[in-house]
Structure 1
Amino acid sequence: MQGPQRRSLQLRVIYALCLCGATWTHLQVALTHGLWWDYGGAAPLTRVYWTSLLFIDPLTALLLLVAPVAGLVLCVAVIATDVAHNSWFALHHPIRIDLYLSQIVFLLFVLSTVRSAWRGAIRARPALSAVD
């Protein structure tokens, strides 16, 4: 494995581990309160979004390793929407600042490294050949 591909894999593993940590957080909530918990009276779309992350985060982690391009796109989308949503939510409700700050740090890390991860993932893709 060459330099860009190795760096991409290292970054994608870090992203995946962070997403596994987020999955653990969502799993704890689901095990404690159930899948249909209202998060203390949160809006219906907030409940759906947060509960969906229990499934989207591990899917993203898996895709980062088996389908890197799709995984990178989904990773950026997940963390960007999560921070945007939680920033909006924090304007109206108290939140756990430690979890919120960890999401912001992860977003900044992803945004500052995703180009490198993308380049290596693109180079690692097998070339398509014409079938006769």
Structure 2
Amino acid sequence: MPRASIMIRILFALCLLAATFNHVRAVLQHGLLWDYGYGNKIALTSKIYWDVLTILDPLAAILLFGKPRAGIWLTVAIIVSDVIHNTYYAAMNDQWLEPFYLAQIGFLVVVLGLAPIAARPFPSLANDV
């Protein structure tokens, strides 16, 4: 397996584990279905989505090494959906320059740019799903 793929997957996993830490911390401090400070402006589905990331983020990190192609696809799905989801709240609250949002945009750019490179050494999807 090429070194670049491993390094990229390590980077993705570290970012996903940092996100996991943030979600676990939020659940421990505020409980499940926390509103992340948005109060009654937040939909129940958003609260559920953020809580589900507490499970999906570490799952993707594990899959990056156990089932690399599945882990890469899950990482892409997580960050794309997270940025789409959180863009709504960033727009609603004029949070375009908040560190959490800029970090997610940065991770999105990195993932979309590097995922094809990370996936190269896995020629057959059938062997990795």
Q: With structure 1 as the length reference, what TM-score do the two structures score?
A: 0.84
Residues 95-121 of structure 1, C-alpha deviations (whole Å, 9 max, x = no match): 58101100110110111111110102x
Q: Which has the higher contact order (CA 8 A, sep 6+)?
A: 1
- Three-state SS of the structure 1 residue aligned to 2:63 is helix
Matching residue's letter, 2:103? S
1:7 to 4, 10, 21: 4
Distance 1:36 1:46 in 2: 9
Cα deviation, residue 35, structure 1: 1.3
1:21-60 pair list within 5 angstroms:
21-39=18-36, 40-41=39-40, 42-60=42-60
TM-score by length of 2: 0.86
Structure 1 window deviating more from structure 2 (72-81 vs 94-103): it is: 94-103
RMSD of the TM alignment (CA)? 2.1
Identity across matched positions, percent: 42
Q: How many residues align?
A: 123
Note the 1:85-104 alignment, pairs <5 A.
85-93=85-93, 95=95, 97-104=98-105
Alignment match, 1:118: 119
Runs of 4 or more off by more than 4 Å in structure 1? none
Distance 1:70 1:44 in 2: 28
Q: In structure 2, do the counterparts of structure 1 residues 118 and 14 end up closer, same or farther at CA, with 3 Å as the change threshold?
A: same
Stretches of structure 2 that go unaligned for 5 or more consecutive residues are: none
Bigger radius of gyration among the two: 1
Unaligned runs of at least 5 residues, structure 1 = 128-132
